[in-house]
Amino acid sequence: MRSNIVSEASLSTRFKQWWEGIPFLTSVVVAVCSVIYLVCLLIGYDSFVEVCFLPSAVISKFQVYRVFTSILFHGSLLHLVFNMLALVPLGSELERVMGSIRLLYMIVLLATSSAVFHLLITLIAAFNPIYSYYQFMDECAIGFSGVLFSMIVIETSLSGVQSRNVFGLFNVPAKLYPWMLLVLFQLVMTNISLLGHLCGILSGFAYTYGLFNFLIPGSSFFSGIESASWLSTCVRRPKYIMCTGGDPSGYIPTYSGRNTSSETLSGNMWTNLSSWMPRREVVPQSTDENSRFPGRGRTLGAPQTETGPTNGSDSSLQARLLESGNSPVHPSSQEAIGAGQQRNNRRQPGVDARSTTLGAALSQEIASDEEIQKLLAMGFDKTQVEVAIAAADGDINVAVEILMTQQG
């Protein structure tokens, strides 16, 4: 008797820990779908033809609500359990990457686009001049699996893996993975919507290749929603994930915007998705730059844009940055001017001992007055120019990078 109590308590604790580990929106979707099914079961409601996605009703009666009611209702307990168990890992990892509001927007976007594809294929099949197939018009699709197929396509495209394992039986190329699942599910469970799953796959591919980028708002849109008073109760929830700490570009990760990193992607889905999140692209420097002003210029007083390293010398740029505009010489420049410091160890009385004098002397040796005047004409302080040139070992381009970084 005692062992049964202990096992029940342990099972309850594990379920609680599992549930608390699911982010806010994913757990809300699971709870809403489960409650809807439970209510339907208790009241004996089984008229799913009233809430499913029925193309004939959407077209003739303009019942667009079916686009969203169809993904929340499920026809059986097995249908509900299977879909929710698939949603938890997919939704949780995507929500941790994008934030709760962005995931909600993506679900709405995928459900809507999948419904549009569904209608287009149905109309083409029914009214094409070669062979008319009207059965799709009266096919009733219900369940969250259409959105799940879209999520599978997105996760597979962003993971960077070359192959995927199908239920532990065999491996297939990653690009064929969603299609293999579509075929297997259709063979094993014949009473499922082939067109609903197919349109989910098409919607996922359209999303991953950036066809929906013009429909995805920026960070300010989601931040404005999160700051609204009517959402404050949800935002304060411990499991709620803010969008402000996610992707800086304000877009849901897409295939077309992913960073072309050479890193080998491995580990869990979170590592893969975060590694393939889009970064701000670095605008390549024009080869036709004015030779009078080498490097990258910017308007004084304007916020500095994010840039990435362009060559091998830039990789150590951060180590060369000056501590402040009044600092004599950055510590990283000590190597470059070590010989000069040894020659000036014995200073005559009355001579300024600041290392900026040494930086100026060295900069005059490695850079011409004309180059210094060019930098001064760009609006930089003379002392900063001399120290930057010394820290850059005479490389004018690197010196400009240092000055621009310090100005920012």
User: Pick the catalytic residue: 74, 79, 118, 197?
Assistant: 197
Question: Is 145 annotated in the active site?
Answer: yes
Which amino acid, residue 13?
T
Residue ranges of alpha helices (H) inside 100-144 are 100-127
d(CA 96, CA 92): 6
Query: By the 8 A CB rule, do 359 and 328 touch?
Result: yes
Length of the chain as a residue count = 408
User: Pick the catalytic residue: 70, 145, 203, 275?
Assistant: 145
Strands, E assignment, 84-243: 163-166, 170-173
d(CA 146, CA 73): 12
Tell me which residue has tokens 């849109």: 221
Question: Is 70 annotated in the active site?
Answer: no
Which amino acid, residue 146?
G
Q: Which two tokens stand for residue 222?
A: 């989601």
Query: By the 8 A CB rule, do 294 and 397 touch?
Result: yes
Burial class (CB in 10 A: 0-12, 13-18, 19+), 349: exposed
What are the catalytic residues? 145, 197
